[in-house]
Structure 1
């Protein structure tokens, strides 16, 4: 077969498309929420239970999905999960109450949980260390694009064919992608269209730190200080992204009384800004490294800059118009994807390729516990106290997360050899030394 130049970027493009459709499917409900709430007679607390059903199953299954991907391989594992989330999403149209909607939402969460671990594993398999931030940013941009496409597409379906059609259309698109993935993906070792030069580039750029004959267990990951350096900031950061995903349309209705068409006009903009944040997370670390900053430090600086930018959404309570509120949401989308891209990249940096999906999935579980707890808080307090205190809290969480990252993933200097980056022993023991 003919070789494809820079095939690794074609592969990450395929992952990005899958991530777009994954987030398009999950975002369908948030756009359709005002319509479904009115039809089912749901209040915000009941809607929060529907969201929590997704979050709870997603939280549990991220660790399971990561282990399955490491066991079955990226190709088969991601294919099976994609078919699962496509069918689960289409089944939403069968719901006739908020309880039924919560059931199908739980199935969707369980099957969609593989997307980020699969992306991280693909990056570890296909990319040398220097290119991982940009590759991670590429597939992470899919999360924002999926959210950005959802408002116009879902509103179009609702206005023309009813809310059930929105779930059928977005689910069917995921079925098509699953087939593309099955026929298009192989590991670098097995891909017939990978050139020998690119294969050498990938293999030489992976770095050391392989586990050899030692078992790659979950307990080994959990004992790693590096794991908690990633998991704790993700726990504190995820509530912001969950809020942007599930509550922006409801906020615009509750606070600014916007109609469905106005929501479609405004609510995609924060996710466009999030794409810029993802791109920044891919471009800033290499720039810092060219100026002498260490690989791990470059990720930490990127995460910290994103955390500081979260001051934007903390000021949403001061907005005097829906346009200004959306602008502050845009700053939040940019900030979150910038810091989150750095944290996801760190998994591929510090864990062996055979454990990166497990580590990423387990960190995702910790993150989604944070998101789930915050969603419960929104459900209990938004109607009574408004959204403003919640937005302030989101900014504080990320600042604490940045401090935790710097403290847990420390750099040391050795006297004998001069300034060097020395990752904590348990990082070398269970992952990869940069």
Structure 2
């Protein structure tokens, strides 16, 4: 085929997924290293919460800026710059001498990692038609769970062989390698010479007008004033605390509440993130399944999937009712599955209601709302966990996620007609 590749869009989303794996590996290195690092640096639980908050605040404030930069300079260049920066920031955490310096380095990591999700949403919006977008987002979003899944065995291996400092250095080096690969291989569909004309036509024919080249771009003030923005931002504020609690506190919960040692943490701490991987993928396929078999619109199917995920979050809310640490981990697995199912649906809704020149900005602004919610909850978590324990906090997280689904149903509105779901005969080859 003269150098053309079938299914090029899936190769591109694979590259995006690898980037998100590295992104989440960098942020989860801290939580796995926490028990050893805290003992070495004489860091208390409250001080550890300050370190986590430093990352969350910087990540939250930078998300809209990162989204704006990505919309302004493009997916390829923007992602490369941010990825190189977060890799260096991750490695620098090895030089921390106390909670203050660790908070500084993690704050720098938050500033640079903020581009990860907006870049992924923007890339999938560029490369996929509307009918496949939730599936593509599900596969790309799996990177967040795989990164968290890989962190426990990799970080524990580094700690046992060289010390907790080397875990940050190794993950930073992995990030630099991915940045080089991204710079070499990622291209916009209009510039990708190995993309067949059939697949290019299939992608463009299935995209809404707002995602076509030449589509108008709304200023960020107009985005913020729209009802659809708040229909996404408020659910992000309510749901993000659950995922950040999973990322930052599960290893510490297993060590302090369930009395597991370092090897047991390495053996079990990754399981909720494996379940989250399943939630990412299954959630992506659930939307077109519900659309086809329950005869609802594609847009409404996203809301049903989010509701399903939110209700599943009730499981980790019951963690205080079980005595077995293995049952507790099973409930956390359901929570990981649940959150990534609802999260992927919410990202798909974002890509549905905002155009290609606005989607990264909107995702970044909504992400800022989510991480502000996570920051406030982490501050509360760090103080209250020593007084009331972990269990009541997991109940609150479950309630927040159910409320997030209610807000979506009340506020979000479809922004316009969709392209026909029937694939043009000339594009049939593009689907292989």
TM-score interval (norm. to shorter):
over 0.9
Q: Secondary structure at the match of 1:256?
A: coil
Q: Secondary structure at the match of 2:394?
A: helix
Deviation at 1:27, TM superposition (A): 0.5
Deviation at 1:208, TM superposition (A): 2.4
Deviation at 1:242, TM superposition (A): 0.4
Among 273, 297, 302, the residue aligned to 1:294: 297
Aligned to 1:333: 336
Among 238, 243, 246, the residue aligned to 1:244: 246
Task: Give the Cα separation in 1 of the matches to 2:216 and 2:64.
Answer: 20
User: Is 1:4 equivalent to 2:1 in the alignment?
Assistant: no
Among 244, 256, 270, the residue aligned to 1:268: 270
8 Å contact from structure 2 (residues 121, 360) kept in 1: yes
| Structure 2 counterparts to residues 364-383 of structure 1, below 5 A | 364-383=367-386
Q: Secondary structure at the match of 1:110?
A: helix
8 Å contact from structure 1 (residues 350, 433) kept in 2: no
Aligned to 1:31: 32
Task: Give the Cα separation in 1 of the matches to 2:136 and 2:408.
Answer: 22
| Structure 2 counterparts to residues 1-400 of structure 1, below 5 A | 2-209=3-210, 214-291=216-293, 292-400=295-403
8 Å contact from structure 1 (residues 275, 337) kept in 2: yes
Q: Secondary structure at the match of 1:31?
A: helix
Task: Give the Cα separation in 2 of the matches to 1:209 and 1:155.
Answer: 46
Deviation at 1:409, TM superposition (A): 1.7
Cα RMSD after superposing both structures: 1.3
Task: Give the Cα separation in 1 of the matches to 2:65 and 2:384.
Answer: 32
Deviation at 1:161, TM superposition (A): 0.5
Q: Secondary structure at the match of 2:181?
A: helix
Aligned to 1:414: none
Deviation at 1:433, TM superposition (A): 6.0
TM-score (norm 2): 0.94
Deviation at 1:213, TM superposition (A): 7.1
**Further displaced range: 220-229 or 156-165:** 220-229
8 Å contact from structure 1 (residues 209, 433) kept in 2: no
Task: Give the Cα separation in 2 of the matches to 1:139 and 1:44.
Answer: 33
8 Å contact from structure 2 (residues 88, 172) kept in 1: yes
Task: Give the Cα separation in 2 of the matches to 1:269 and 1:219.
Answer: 41
Structure 2 unaligned residues grouped into runs of 5+: 420-432
Q: Evaluate the alpha carbon distance shift between residue 251 and residue 187 of structure 1 in structure 2; reply closer, same or farther with a 3 A threshold.
A: same
Task: Give the Cα separation in 2 of the matches to 1:194 and 1:16.
Answer: 19
- How many residues matched? 416
8 Å contact from structure 2 (residues 89, 109) kept in 1: yes
User: Is 1:408 equivalent to 2:383 in the alignment?
Assistant: no
